[in-house]
Structure formats: structure tokens, C-alpha cells
A and B are shown apart, each in its own frame.
Chain A
Amino acid sequence: MKTKAHTPLEQKNAHSDTISRDLMPRPFGRLGLIWVASLVFICAVGLFFYIDQVRNGLGITAMRDYSTWGIYIANFVFFVAISLVGSLISAILKLSGARWRTPLTRISEMIAVSSIIFAAIVIVVDMGRPDRFLNVVFHARIQSPITWDVIVISTYLVISLLLLYLPLIPDLALMRDQFKGIPGWQHKLYKMLALGWNNHPEQEKILRRSERILAILIIPVAFGIHTVTSWLFATTLRPGWDSTNFGPYFVSGAFMVGAGGVIAAMYIFRTFYKLEHYITLKHFNYMARLLVLLSLVYLYFNINEYFVPAYKMKAQESAHLKELFYGSYAPLFWGVQVFGMIIPLIVLLFKWGRKPLPMFVVSIFVIVGAWFKRFLIVIPTLGHPYIPMTRVPESWQHYFPTFKEWWITAATLAGALLIVTILTRLFPIIPVAETIEEAEVAEAENRTS
């Protein structure tokens, strides 16, 4: 603290000015506008198809009595999975004292909030009677894993919103005070959300404590949301789902895709917003190592999930496993395992692989692989009921989503990206106040040494 006082005032201001100038949200450029317009278009058409679904029923999808859950549920699991990134970066890394995480916290919380919102939306999309959604509250039965999911997801949404909002307060105050040339409503928004923040030590103390409490609270809730989501499957008697491994298998996969999501976002924002000084090669390097660790954990649970039943080949399990290993789902299954897990794992072991561009490519593999992995978890199992599927149309035996179903699913993904895009338009992608503070501390440390 003593050394900090020696910092010449004008130099400090100059420094913090550059930082806040670099990091303040900017209007969209041409590319940005095209991006937003495309997302809005995808969402609008998706909404149109969804209205069709509400009118005419889930019959517009390819789901039928045997394959009664389809890509909507797979997509739901994907959203819940990727939302775990918030707790990974803002809680686990925070509590383990990894200071390099600072520029990544906001991105990851934005991803977490938007994907958990869309997880909830997707569940409503999958409901046969969305008009009766409130029955879940008014007639709730605590025995049902769906009720647990409703409770734990709403809790996670609240904590994630707070973890996004609280660290944002000093930045909001900064924008309220320094951000010139913005429309009046935007200024009012900042002023309202800043809650009268004025860098008072007492305020800082409260904020730090709250953030810490939330960081601790969110970890069990994060494990909770994905474990409970895995129980939607594991609590049934179906071969392929009837597994005690499902909780940790889902949680580890979620952390892995979450890390992949952050890497992709890091690359995109760094490139388009010229944030090379803030999101550095060091961050990519650390995230790569983290992703390797998480992939190894996921690999371990995958081996448990597939090898053990495959060794025994119980009659019901074997039909399911054979279809994955060398049946009709084999190309997808091996594609996902190799491109979504093994190749990223190997690439990131090399120094050249831990550079931004290769990492971006790898992270896209991880994300796409993770989506199709959820497809493989949800869909093939339902094609192997205990009773033989006879006298049913051919299409019932091999579920393949309809065009409208694909589009509605794409619209939810576009919607989640749209929320992230709008958030980054309004709020700094990188925590400004925290970055300034850390820059000062670092500078002070340099001076003393």
C-alpha cells in the first residue's frame, strides 16, 4: 500500500484512462451488425416454428412414442453443461487464487447466465403443454427429479446473475462517471445499476465479502444442476442411462465444454475488440492446460461409462452399446470421442497447440463434440426399449429430427449468443475496475523489486 502512494498521480490516471478507453463497450461495427441481424433472423424464424408447434403440437418434431425425448432434451443438457463455466472461472479459479482469471470472469459469467436462461426456455419448448408450466409450482411433487431440477436451476440462475452483477458494479460506476457521448437511457441504466457506488472502502469490503460468499455457494449448486440433470436419465431403468457414473460423468463433461466455450469467446473478443493486451498468450496457455486437465478427467469418466458395461455385455446394454460402437451411431460416436476429446487433448499438449488460433479451432471441436455427445446420451437409448418395437413406422425406430426441430434448436443457440452479444454491447467484456487495480498493484510490485 505504501508504494502505491508513490505512484505519480498523472501517470496513474494516464494508465487507468487507457485501460478504461480500451475496455469500454463500443457500438457494433458492420460485422457486428451483420452478426446481430443473423442471430435475430434465426431466432425470429425459430419463434415462428415454435408458434406452429404450440398450435399443432409436438407432432411437428420427429419425436414419437418410443423416441419420446429428442434434440430438445439433448440441447437442454448442453445448455446446462456449458453454464457450469461460470462457476469454474469465477468460483473455482477464484478460490484457488488463480489471479490470471480476472479478464475471463465476465465472459464466463455472461455465457453462464445466457445459457442457463436458455436451458429453462428449452425445457418449456419441449413441454407438450407449455400453458400449464405453473403446474410445476402449484402441483409440485418433491419426489420428482424434475422438481429438483427446477429448484436447483432457478437457484443457479440467481447466483449466476449476482456473480455477473456484483463485480460489474464498480465498472457501472466508472461508466456512469466517465463514459461520455452515450444516449441518455444508457447513462440512466448505468446510474441505476451502479447503486450509488463511489469506491468507498466500506462498499468495497461488502462487495468483496459478497463475492466470496457467492463464489463458495455456487460450487455445490453448480455440481447440483448438472448432477440432477444427469439424474433425469440415471433415475430411470433404461439401458444406457441406468448408471451410477452419470453424475460425475456429466459434471466433468460440463466443465470441459465450459472451458472450451471460454476459449472460443476469448479468441473472438480478443480478435474483434483488439484486446491483445488484456487477453494475452499467458491466458491462452493457462486455459489450454486447464482444458487438458478437464479432458483427462472426462476421458476417465468416459472409460468408466462405456468400458465397464461393454466388458459385461448384458443383453439390454449390449444392443445399445453395439449400436454406438459399430452400429448406425458409430460414425457420430467415434467422431465425437476423437474430435471432441482425444484430438483436443493431444493438440493442447504441444506448445504450438497452445497458441490462440489452434486453440480456437480445438475449442470449436470441443463445443460441437459436446453438443453431439449429449445427442448420443439422450437419443440412442430410447431406440432400445425392453419390449420389441414392432408394428411401428420405420421413422419411429430411427429418430432423426425434422427441419423445424433443428431450426428451433438452432434458434435457442442463436438466442444464447444474442444475449451474450447484447451484454457485451452494454457492459465491459473485461472487468475494468479490477484490471486497473491489478495493473497498479503489478506496477507497484515492479517498482519495489
Chain B
Amino acid sequence: MKSTDHNDRRAFLKKGLGIAAVAGSVTALQAFQQDSVEETGEKVRLLSPEGEIVEIDAGYLKPIPEVHIAPDQAREGIPGRRFVMVIDLARCKNLRKCHDACEKMHHCGPEKEFLKVLKMQDNKLASPFWQPTMCFHCDEPPCVKVCPVDATYKRTDGIVLIDTDRCIGCRFCMVACPYSARTFDWSEPAFPLEVAHQHYSPETSVPAKKGTVSKCDFCPDVVRKGEMPHCVSACPNGVFYFGDENEDAVSNGEETVRLSELLRDRAGYRFLEDLGTKPRVYYLPPVNRLFPFEDDEFSNKTDHDHEN
């Protein structure tokens, strides 16, 4: 597994270099021109991909530059992967750290939510619980089906993305999504200057554009670096497990578990399974909860539909 990872990364870096060169990005090139390195004399020990401990000069240590995945490259999934998420409802206490991290990293405004934490109650006698929802990256995505211009698409790694350079803003996908996961930029989004000048990638959904649709993207840009999506790493209670269905492993940052065992033993289910959309996000039911349910200032105002 490790060596494939390594190969992936190398192929991926090559690709990244290619784009950087085409884009004429001088900084990215400089980072990779090792000839110009001045040795500092300070040595560091590193673990090589082959498992050997090697010693190199600290001058060779360069941060991996942020690689820009252009919209046409973003259409291909990360090879060999099938990303999946499991959300443990027994651990959620509406801290909303996931929401805040998501909002910060995707530069969403207060009214634009890729991730919501909702008060749910199945019936009057059942206790309410908190449920984080986002794009479920369905395997039968109704949003992708209806898009007239192929602006939203399903990748081989299971992720559903949106190319806002292509989107015409008809909002049919928003209407088609039964989970209300999609958001729209009704006006010109306001960003700090450095964000506004960032190269757009469907993998980061940044910078957003007026008149187009966006949503939770499963953070493939950080997943490529071997990190967890922002909501997963932000949650202090380990509510979110993220991983790869092909590896049959998911992790919440604290523990790594077998996906199939977790879903089997904890009665994992998917939201509105009967709609046939086959979400890639699973829930573990809110039983044996870590925290008692507490209403927040908004949850009492839930509309009547969902209190039956």
C-alpha cells in the first residue's frame, strides 16, 4: 500500500510540475530546482519511502508547494480510491467545530453552509439528536443526472464535484438534491485579496463565483496530501470517520477501524436510503450517547414538517 501511495504522489507531483510550468508559475519551479540549493551543514534524519533512515542536508528540505488541480484534471478521481465517510451521531453535541472549520477553509459566508448541524427527531417519543449533514457524494447522484452542461460530475474516487467555470447557474441540481446540500452564490462573494487571486480548482471550491453552485467537496485537495477533510480533523469528539472503501478502513483521527465492521456492528445506515441515491456518507445511530441532548437558540424554531 505504501509503495502505491508513493507512486501516486510522485505521478501526482509530476503532473503538478507540468501545470506549474505551463502556468509559468516561477515560485513552484524554483522549489523544485535542486541545483541551486545551498547546503547549510545542518543534517536531518528522515525515513525514506523504502523504510530506510537517511540523513540529508537541511537545505534540501523544501515545503511541498500547493499543487493546483485545474478544472479539467479535477474530473479524474484519485486513482484506486473510493472515499467514504461515517458519522457517529452518538458523539455529536452540536459543538459546530466541523461547521466552522469548513466555513473557514472554503471561505463561505455566514449564509452559505456546505455543512449543517441539524436537530433531528424521528417521532415525538424519540429523543432528538444532532445530525451533521453535507453533500453525501451519492453513487446515484440526482444532481449530476440533471446537470445540462456536465458542470457537476461524479469521479472514480466517489467524489461529486462542481466546475464553477462551467456552471450556468440554472440551479436544477439544487432542486434535484433531496438533501439540500448545494448552495448558490446569489451575489458577488467577498474574499480577502489573497483568496480572490488564488487559482480556482473544483477540488478546493475556492474562490467561489457569483451565479454558480457550490457545495461540500470532501476536501480532495487535503486528502491528496494524506490529511483528513477539515470537518473530520476539527471535531474534538471524533464524530467523523473518513477513509477509503477499497481499503475498508476509516479513521476519525484518533482510531482507525474497519469500515465494514463498524457499519455492521454499530448498525450503520444512510439518510433517506429509500430515495435510492446511494450516499457515500453513513450514519451510526444516536444510541448510548456521550452527551445529553441540549437545544440551542435555533433548534426550537424548527418548522413543523419535521416534528411529526
Contact = CB atoms under 8 A, between A and B. Distances in A.
Contact of A386 (B147, B180, B210, B302): B180
A389 interface: yes
A132 B168 contact: yes
Interface string A86-98: 0000000000000
A10 interface: no
B167 A128 contact: yes
Tell me if A's interface is mostly helix, strand, loop or mixed: loop
Contacts of A61: 186
Contact of B184 (A128, A384, A385): A128
A206 interface: no
Nearest to B308: A315
Contacts, number: 148
A446 interface: no
Interface in A332-372: none
Given A141-B148, A147-B148, A386-B180, A135 B187 contact: no
Nearest to A384: B305
B149 A57 contact: no
A392 B299 CA distance: 11
Contact of A236 (B142, B184, B213, B301): B142
A29 interface: no
A139 B188 contact: no
Contacts of B149: 132, 135-136, 139-141
Contacts of B150: 139, 141
Which of under 10, 10 to 19, 20 to 34, or 35 or more describes the interface residues of A? 35 or more
B170 interface: yes
Contacts of B277: 237
A218 B113 CA distance: 46
A333 to B, nearest CB: 18
B169 A232 contact: no
Contacts of B175: 68-69, 236, 238, 382
Contact of A128 (B119, B145, B170, B176): B170
B118 A390 contact: yes
Contacts of A385: 178, 180
Contact of A65 (B174, B272, B302): B174
Given A65-B180, A146-B170, A319-B304, 17 more contacts: A57-B210, A63-B186, A64-B111, A128-B170, A128-B185, A128-B213, A132-B167, A136-B148, A140-B148, A143-B145, A146-B148, A236-B178, A386-B272, A387-B133, A387-B180, A388-B118, A389-B180
